[in-house]
A and B are shown apart, each in its own frame.
Chain A
Amino acid sequence: MQRHSEQIVSDNSKLKNSMEWIQRHSYNARICHWVTVISFGYLFWSGLMIFLQFPELYWGKVGFQGHPAVFRLSDWGLSWDQADALGDRRWGRNYHYLFAWVFAFNGIAYLGWNVWQKKFYKKMFPQREEFQLSHIKTDIQNHLQFKAPAGETAKSYNFLQKMSYLIVLFVLFPFMFITGFAQMPAFTAILPELIDIFGGRQTARTLHVVCTLLLVLFLIVHIMEVFIAGARNQIRSMITGKYAISTETNE
């Protein structure tokens, strides 16, 4: 199957016959990826610093110490005072807002660069044949066996990979912003409906944390996959854009 043939940069003359180099990541994807790494890191850490100084979660419109909570860090072995001492919301709030802006501009730049490009959809969105049950089954099996893609299949993202990237980009990232806005006092005047959608700001706050955990889960799996597929090659491709494909193991 001739997939992404336009992206293939044959450089075989200088390399062993078994290797083929492809241009995997565009210039903009690489910049946006690393800006995301930095800003997500800061957002996560500053968010944690804020959370530790109020380490309880509630459901509904109101929540405070003594109100029925859906999560209490003290139930998990860290007392309120211990958590408070670890946190720093003065630092946390300043950096949370700063990097929320970095994150937002980065996201806008990424979409601006890519939505009008056909190859973005080809790269990121599953094609029709990928929705076939048998295809998905093979994909899941490969993942469960920690089988790294090789040859022709390594040239493009697989179904599960595409779906998880799309969910992170278009569901979880926007959800972080929406649940963030719903916690802001200004939004009680700007768009109170946004708070009502969640049934209250405390629910929005709890979902903000749940969504963070989902993003961290994605990050763990993402890093694991990088190692399974070959960390050196993967990380190099996100820096230089060039990705080595071993053609010998072609299926």
Chain B
Amino acid sequence: MKYTKPKTLSRRQLISRAGALGGILLTGCDSNIYTPPTIRGGLMGVADVLTMASQRFLLSDQALVQEHDINEITKNFPVWNQSNPEDEDYQRLRRGSFAEWRLPVGGLVNQPISLSLEDLKRFPKRTQITSHICEQGWSAIAQWTGAPLIKILEAAGGVKPEARYVVIDAYGGWYEGYDMFDVVHPQTILAYGMNGKDLPQGNGAPVRLRVERHCGYKQLKFIKSIQVVSSMDGFGRGTGGLNSDFDFHWYAGA
């Protein structure tokens, strides 16, 4: 049994990363990393904050998640939930092998951009073999290759000072918000490769998110667009994502 010892990102590296974005990505010293966008009422909200704050405190060194050995990769990685969104645009893109797919990166960035799949593959790539952990109870191991989300925001000129969340929309109607604490994590990538091949249809082609410290339902598939915002108000019920709109935990570190 062998796995790569997780490396810890030093504070200096973090600060230099943040510096590249004009010092505006808040990483570990900001109180808003401890609470979800909307705190639910009553005891449920108290429990949410206790869970998120205690785990974020323990995660504040931005340590990498455990990476597995190549021979531990699961052979029949499950396809769960949506495997082929019934969306006209998506179907058209799929028939064209996603050559026409464009990823707009907008909102509170200094220089909105739109990336093709080829553009995305030109970013410094990161490959990681990690566990995909579904809140239902199942888990499987796969190798993911993609571009770090932070590099994409850097390419868009960095984010504006009031930026707090990155909202990702997906074909098929899902959307999810992520706070900057997760965005700056080096293993947070837009994955276009799985187990050395292009990302398969059922696993979210052409591009899905890997945000490794969370349950499966935060690993959005079939990515459509990225926007940086200051608040989750106005998106769905305003809870921060479709899962939490349905009353699942927004913070899904568990």
B74 within 8 A of A: yes
Contacts of A182-196 to chain B: CB distance below 8 A: 183-186, 188-190, 192, 195-196
A97 contacts B59, CB within 8 Å?
Answer: no
Provide the residues of chain A in CB contact with B29, threshold 8 Å. none
Contact string against B for A residues 150-194, beta-carbon threshold 8 Å, 1 for contact and 0 otherwise? 000000000000000000000000000000000111101110100
The chain A residue sitting closest to B133, CB to CB, is: A185
Tally of A interface residues using CB under 8 Å: 32
- Contact of B55 (CB < 8 Å), options: A53, A63, A101, A190: A190
B47 contacts A101, CB within 8 Å?
Answer: yes
B144 to chain A, nearest CB (A): 14
- How far apart are the CA atoms of A226 and B130 in the complex, in Å? 49
B140 within 8 A of A: yes
A77 within 8 A of B: no
Q: Which of B50, B138, B246 counts the most chain A CB atoms within 10 A?
A: B138
B66 contacts A184, CB within 8 Å?
Answer: no
Which stretch (A9-17, A88-96, A124-132, A235-243) binds chain B? A88-96
- Contact of B139 (CB < 8 Å), options: A90, A189, A202: A202
B9 to chain A, nearest CB (A): 11
B213 within 8 A of A: yes
- How far apart are the CA atoms of A183 and B65 in the complex, in Å? 13
- Contact of B136 (CB < 8 Å), options: A54, A67, A188, A202: A54
A31 within 8 A of B: no
- How far apart are the CA atoms of A189 and B62 in the complex, in Å? 8
The chain A residue sitting closest to B80, CB to CB, is: A64
Contact string against A for B residues 138-152, beta-carbon threshold 8 Å, 1 for contact and 0 otherwise? 111100000000000
A17 to chain B, nearest CB (A): 50
Q: Using known A-B contacts A185-B254, A189-B63, determine if residue A62 contacts B6 with beta carbons closer than 8 Å.
A: no
- Contact of B72 (CB < 8 Å), options: A61, A98, A201: A61
How big is chain B's contact interface, by range?
A: 35 or more
A21 within 8 A of B: no
- Contact of A201 (CB < 8 Å), options: B58, B65, B135, B139: B139
Provide the residues of chain B in CB contact with A67, threshold 8 Å. 76
B51 within 8 A of A: yes
Q: Which of A51, A186, A188, A202 counts the most chain B CB atoms within 10 A?
A: A186
B139 contacts A61, CB within 8 Å?
Answer: yes
B141 contacts A62, CB within 8 Å?
Answer: yes
B104 within 8 A of A: no
The chain A residue sitting closest to B52, CB to CB, is: A186
- How far apart are the CA atoms of A131 and B56 in the complex, in Å? 46
Q: Which of B55, B246, B252 counts the most chain A CB atoms within 10 A?
A: B55
Provide the residues of chain B in CB contact with A89, threshold 8 Å. 135-136
Provide the residues of chain B in CB contact with A65, threshold 8 Å. 78, 138
| A-B contacts besides A63-B139, A97-B48, 18 pairs, CB < 8 Å | A56-B137, A61-B68, A65-B78, A65-B138, A89-B136, A90-B248, A94-B44, A98-B43, A98-B44, A101-B50, A188-B66, A188-B212, A189-B66, A189-B212, A192-B3, A192-B65, A192-B66, A202-B139
- 25 A-B residue contacts at CB 8 Å? A54-B136, A54-B138, A61-B141, A62-B74, A66-B76, A66-B78, A90-B246, A93-B135, A94-B44, A97-B249, A98-B47, A101-B47, A183-B133, A184-B55, A185-B131, A185-B214, A185-B215, A185-B252, A185-B254, A186-B55, A186-B214, A190-B63, A192-B6, A201-B131, A201-B139
Where the two chains meet, the residues of A that have a C-beta atom closer than 8 Å to any C-beta of B are 50-51, 53-54, 56, 61-67, 89-90, 93-94, 97-98, 101, 183-186, 188-190, 192, 195-196, 201-202, 205
